[in-house]
Amino acid sequence: MEDIQYSQNPKRLSLIIIILGILFIFLSLYLTWFENPSYLPLLVGAQLIFLYINIKRTKYSIKLNDREIAYDLQGINNRVSIADIRNLEIRLFEIHIQKDDGEIDVLNLERIKDRELKKIKASFNQLKQELFQKQ
């Protein structure tokens, strides 16, 4: 199996949203102190900050090669050696990797877009076929 990598890191969008959120919060503070009090820009700024936090959660990276699976999903960062895999179970939005020591790693794929999700699952299906053909 050749090296395969799937990733998403929305840095530009995150930066734009955080700048807009800060600007709306400052606008709200300016209007509150010097003009008629208006809390609408404050609410918009807060919503943009929450949107930024949600976008940061969509960051992911999955790398597959002949030796290991490396992934970073929602802050969970791990590497699994291909030789240590006993079983792969592919579900709708999860991939369960059972290792020889009995530990199970769960890759939660709920936040990944459908097109990428299909590619990731196809790669894991191919890996599963290659692993269990050898046995």
Q: What is the mean pLDDT of each run of 10 residues along the chain (135 residues)?
A: 71 77 79 73 77 74 88 83 89 91 88 87 89 72
The C-alpha atoms of residue 113 and residue 55 are separated, in whole angstroms, by: 13
- pTM of this prediction exceeds 0.85: no
Number of domains comprising the chain: 2
pLDDT given at position 96: 93
Q: Under a CB-based contact definition with an 8 Å cutoff, are residues 41 and 31 in contact?
A: yes
Is 4 inside any structural domain?
no
- Three-state secondary-structure class, residue 127: helix
Of 111, 76, 82, 69, the closest CA to residue 94 belongs to 111
Range of the domain at 128: 60-134
115 and 102 in a single domain? The answer is: yes
Which helix (H) or strand (E) segment is 6 a member of?
strand 4-8
- Three-state secondary-structure class, residue 93: coil
pLDDT given at position 135: 58
The C-alpha atoms of residue 66 and residue 44 are separated, in whole angstroms, by: 48
| Segment 96-107, tens digit of pLDDT | 999 988 898 888
18 and 37 in a single domain? The answer is: yes
